Amino acid sequence: MTSTDDLARQALVRRGFALEYATLGWNVIGIVVLAVAAISARSVALAGFGLDSLIEIGASTVVIWELSGTGEDRRLRALKLIGVGFGLLAVYLLVQSTWVLASGLRPHHSPLGIGWTAVTAAVMFALAAGKARTGTALDNPVLKTEGRVTLIDGLLAAAVLLGLLLNSVAGLWWADPAAGYVLVYYALREVRETLQRPE
Instruction: Say how far apart CA 153 and CA 62 lie, in whole Å.
Output: 16
Residues ≥6 apart with Cβ < 8 Å to 96: 44, 45, 48, 177, 180
Q: What angle do CA 55, 122, 30 make, to 5 degrees?
A: 40
Q: Which domain holds residue 118?
A: 3-195
Whether 199 has a pLDDT exceeding 70, the answer reads no
pLDDT in tens, 28-56: 999 999 999 999 988 878 888 888 888 88
Q: How many CB atoms lie within 10 A of CB 152?
A: 25
pTM value is: 0.84
The segment with the largest mean pLDDT, out of 64-78, 103-117, 184-198, is: 103-117
129: CATH: 1.20.1510
Q: How many domains in the chain?
A: 1
Instruction: Say how far apart CA 182 and CA 155 lie, in whole Å.
Output: 10
**1 falls in which pLDDT band (50, 70, 90)?**
low
pLDDT at residue 58, rounded to an integer: 82
